[in-house]
Amino acid sequence: MRILLMIHIPLKRNLGASRVQLELAEEWQKEGHIIEKFDLEDAFPQQNPSLLATLTRSHFSQKAIAYIRENSHRFDIIDAHQGNLPISKTALGFSGLLVTRSVGLYPLYEQFNRTKIAQLPTTNLKTKIVHKLLKWRDRKELDYCFRTYETCDLINLPNSDEKQYLEQTKKLGKKCAVFPFGLSQSRQETLTQIVNAKTSYTLPPQIVFIGTWCPRKGSKDWQSIVQKVRNSIPKVRFLFLGTGVGSKKIIADLQLSREDGIKIIPSYHSDDLPELLKNATIGAFPSYIEGFGFAVLEKLAAGLPTVAYDVPGPREMLHHLEISLMVKAGDIDAFSNKLIELLQLSKDDRDRLSRECVKIAKRFSWRKIAKDTLNVYQESLQKLP
């Protein structure tokens, strides 16, 4: 099979949205399939990708549509992110299988963003202009995404809540297929080695968060979380990885005077994560909306029980655990108490829970997910007129 991967950001492993297609492609290539890609850097090779990433999908879509019209005959399957190809297959000149992929359904993210934008103060002209621009951008992005849901042959979703949403709002449930994210066998093994290497519990306990420092991922909740956990366990340490912002901003948001007991690493290479997690005790992930959540999956693979809000994405993994690690979204007291409860477990109980986390992470294997995904793609392709 010849498969084209399409995405409106650079296709790189350190970007969560890109990583999904990239690691699926590696599994498909092992089976002899031919994989090509068209990403932001292909669309705009002479320009700064970081600047272009701030543009709306429409800028990328114009280039993507032109590329498909010239090359449609070369591919059996196009796996494109939501909003990338917002026109019909006939207009594209493509007769193969057109898949629209979500790594976090944009309408649900837009609902969250709309709430946050509404909370912005509008007392000055500059803020009012930003307010209007954000609303305009989100409406345009939303329109492009809905068009791709309607014109594609198949919608690939990372969690069952997204399928339910599209069925209830657009009656598109029959077009949807749900596939979680996964880890390669080598990644699983590398992360699991952390569990096997731990021989001592004499170090101060450490709570680790992986993710961008933003309200969607709970940045506004952390000041209370840190305070409440420290009140019960004064020696606890916190590790913030991949925040995208430096310590000055985070320490200010935490309302602390210094970084004592707080370690912040704004960016890191994906291959360095196992080493960064070696002294962690448990994970925390107070995100309000996710597609799936590599940050949860990789911590589970490293044997780190992770407390999260009960939202789409994390619940796809955490509902398998015998002990509940999820709390209602926004319930900071319950979230903090759950972290304290985990830190106070006996060594035997923590080891038992750690092994259970590793076992659950192994359910999410890229090898199996890639095979299941391609089977559905091939069956759908055969059903096309």
Please, what are the domains in the chain?
2-182+365-383 (3.40.50.2000), 185-361 (3.40.50.2000)
Predicted TM-score of the model (pTM): 0.90
Nearest C-alpha neighbor of 215 from the set 270, 150, 118, 288 = 288
As a residue count, the chain comes to 385
Give residue for tokens 């307010």.
131
361 or 127, higher pLDDT = 361
Residue 124 pLDDT class (50, 70, 90 cuts): low
Residue 222 pLDDT class (50, 70, 90 cuts): very high
- Predicted pLDDT of residue 49: 56
Distance CA(283)–CA(303), nearest Å, equals 10
Run of H or E residues at 35:
strand 34-38
Q: What is the pLDDT of residues 249-289, one digit of tens each?
A: 999 999 998 888 999 999 999 899 999 999 999 999 999 99
Q: What is the pLDDT of residues 286-314, one digit of tens each?
A: 999 999 999 999 999 999 999 999 999 99
* pLDDT average, residue stretch 172-188: 96
282 or 198, higher pLDDT = 282
C-alpha separations of 314 from 56, 219, 265, 318 in Å: 28, 17, 23, 6
